[in-house]
Chain A
Amino acid sequence: MSLTRQDVEKVALLARLKFDEDALDKMTDHMVQIIQYVDKLSELDTEDVQPMAHALDIHNALADDEPRPSLPREEALKNAPKRDDECFRVPAVLGE
């Protein structure tokens, strides 16, 4: 399996990343190599193997529905690039 420049452009768009032409070429090379490396796995016969849902062999990690204190608002907003007293501020969300 290989990867085209258009594939990389699409993935970049979905990840909201912007590359110039040089970076896009480089990124395409890298991603092709990564895909080819992972592609080695297809050489294995997995016909009778159940898909694995999780790397750990544990399940049912469930917590009781008991509230614990939330962060103070000041702490929650602290890292925001833009904020006011109550809310995070972001560039206008178009429509609803």
Chain B
Amino acid sequence: MSEFSYEIVIGLEVHVQLKTKTKLFCRCRTEFGNPPNTQTCPVCLGMPGSLPVMNKKAYFLGMRTALALNCGIPKFTKWDRKNYFYPDLPKGYQTSQFDLPMSEEGYLDIKSTKDEFEPRRVRIIRAHLEEDAGKSMHDEAAGKGDSRIDLNRTGTPLLEIVSYPDMRSAAEAKAYMQELRLLLTYLDVSDCNMQEGSLRCDANVNLHITTDDGVIATPIVEIKNMNSFRSVERGIEYEAKRQYDVWQETGKVLGELPKQTRGWDDSAQVTRSQREKEESADYRYFPCPDLVPVIVTDQQIDEVRQEIGELPSALRERLQNEFGLTIYSADVIVNQGLSLVEYYLELAAAAGDNKLAGNWVQGEVLRILNDQEIEIEDFPIDAGRLAELLQLIQTGDLDSSKAKDVFAAMLTSESSAADVVKELGIEKVDEGALEALCQVLVERNQRIVDDVKSGNEKAVGALIGQAKKENPNVNPGQVRQICLEIINNL
């Protein structure tokens, strides 16, 4: 059978647990990891006669996120009941939003620093506020065929962010998830822990295949259970190949099969068929009579907008344009989170050299953070102390390899860079003495002089080695520069 080219079409539905102390409609705690069924009350257990009350913080965290995603905020929003039966949903319906969501029509821009794809604006259909379900666990050991239900999570506030099907590769979907997660951490609206389920992702995927008779679309499949960035990427790649094979076998196109739900099995690295998706109408959405609508004013929206600090995309641009960092450096620093960016800004200001500060943060500082598995908040050298070290490099008092020795010593002491330099016995070599030394070396090594003169500048490296033997404190950069000057003036 002949091979046809195809395009993968991907839309993502992301569920974000918002960082509130209490649930969306009751004041039970939302803490993760407590003993089963110790965080419930009549409201989240769905007892008859109990009444939900909307969590103010959840609503405003949702709005902050929506604004950062460039969404519009309708003045009037309400909640609806989405009816279905499942043991982890004690009320028999999920309180969600149907026709009047709290936000709509935004976008998130994604870029690849590794040129995996062209920059893309992923449009967002809506972000709405709903409640989480509980957890069901199948008790294999006990056998008996029972499932155990823990309702601690029931009613935890979720923001569901729905994108348009604007992504065209698994790499783009992964980049969207990563950029969204970064944005959410800058906004401080969620813990974004994919393992603990505070950031979850479902993907709607199909193919547009270019056949001899024009472009056809394969039936849409929703992939669930992708609990890491890697599984998002792999799940979509797997599903694309699977859909292509199924199409070659059956020829079935969009509209000829109902929408299917498949779960990603991370250990087997395959997607497996789940229940057939119920048609939207089967959820029998209707306005929740227990909750009253929310109406916001322009002033309230503006106030929330003011709370939003500088976001990753703006910071990357500022680090490139104002601070002269490369796109790669700016990306590395910004992607580590707001605290590292703040450290960098403080360091650059105090040291007076933006690029040098960028190199050190991206190099030595990040290396220590990774090696010791610590956050910048726990990094032993504050920006002010590191700035003193960078100044010693700028004045030529320290070369880069000595600076690294000083840096290493500063990690375990509280001394200033200047004091550590003294403690380590590093002395700056007097300029006159340095020039005299270089003069002697040049005179002693006629062959190297000839080499350099004939265009091989690298040959001067041998002189640096000799200079270091004579005096370990010499700055290699300076030796190189002075020797080259002397040779070129011969």
Contact = CB atoms under 8 A, between A and B. Distances in A.
Contacts of B137: 87
A42 interface: no
Given A61-B54, A61-B292, A73-B35, A89 B148 contact: yes
Nearest to B36: A86
Nearest to A14: B282
Nearest to A76: B40
B54 A86 contact: no
B110 to A, nearest CB: 29
Contacts of A82: 146
Interface string A52-96: 011110111111111110110100110000101011111111011
Contact of B40 (A58, A63, A71): A71
Nearest to B274: A95
A67 B27 contact: yes
B41 A54 contact: no
Given A71-B40, A76-B45, A87-B150, A65 B294 contact: no
Nearest to A86: B36
Q: A interface, by DSSP: helix, strand, loop or mixed?
A: loop
Nearest to B77: A53
B37 A86 contact: yes
Which residue, A16, A63, A84, A92, has most C-beta atoms of chain B within 10 A? A63
A88 B148 contact: yes
Nearest to B60: A62
B97 to A, nearest CB: 11
Given A90-B147, A95-B274, A71 B42 contact: yes
A55 B289 CA distance: 8
B19 to A, nearest CB: 10
Contacts of B117: none
B146 A89 contact: yes
B35 A92 contact: no
Contacts of B282: 14
B138 to A, nearest CB: 6
B37 A65 contact: no
Contacts of A96: 225, 263, 274
B294 A59 contact: yes
A92 B143 CA distance: 10
Contacts, number: 126
A58 B289 CA distance: 12
Contacts of A93: 86-88, 136, 138, 147
A14 B86 CA distance: 12
B445 to A, nearest CB: 74
Contacts of B42: 71
B289 A62 contact: no
B456 to A, nearest CB: 66
Contacts of A95: 263, 274-275
A92 B138 contact: yes
A10 to B, nearest CB: 9
B455 to A, nearest CB: 68
A60 B53 CA distance: 10
Given A59-B292, A63-B55, A93-B87, A73 B38 contact: yes
Contacts of B289: 54-55
Contact of A84 (B148, B225, B295): B148
Contact of A53 (B78, B149, B225): B78
A53 B291 CA distance: 10
A76 B289 CA distance: 25
Contact of B55 (A65, A76, A91): A65
Interface string B3-29: 000000000000000001110000111
A6 to B, nearest CB: 14
B29 A90 contact: no
B294 A70 contact: no
A90 B55 CA distance: 30
Given A53-B78, A61-B292, 12 more contacts: A54-B78, A61-B53, A62-B55, A63-B55, A64-B56, A68-B41, A73-B35, A73-B38, A76-B45, A88-B87, A93-B147, A95-B275
Interface of B: 20-22, 27-29, 35-42, 45, 53-59, 76, 78, 83, 85-88, 100, 136-138, 145-151, 225, 263, 274-275, 282, 284, 287, 289, 291-295
**Pairs A-B, 9 closest by C-beta atoms:** A87-B148, A65-B57, A62-B56, A68-B27, A88-B149, A90-B87, A93-B147, A63-B53, A53-B78
Interface of A: 14, 16, 53-56, 58-68, 70-71, 73, 76-77, 82, 84, 86-93, 95-96
6 contacts: A54-B287, A61-B291, A65-B55, A71-B42, A87-B37, A96-B263
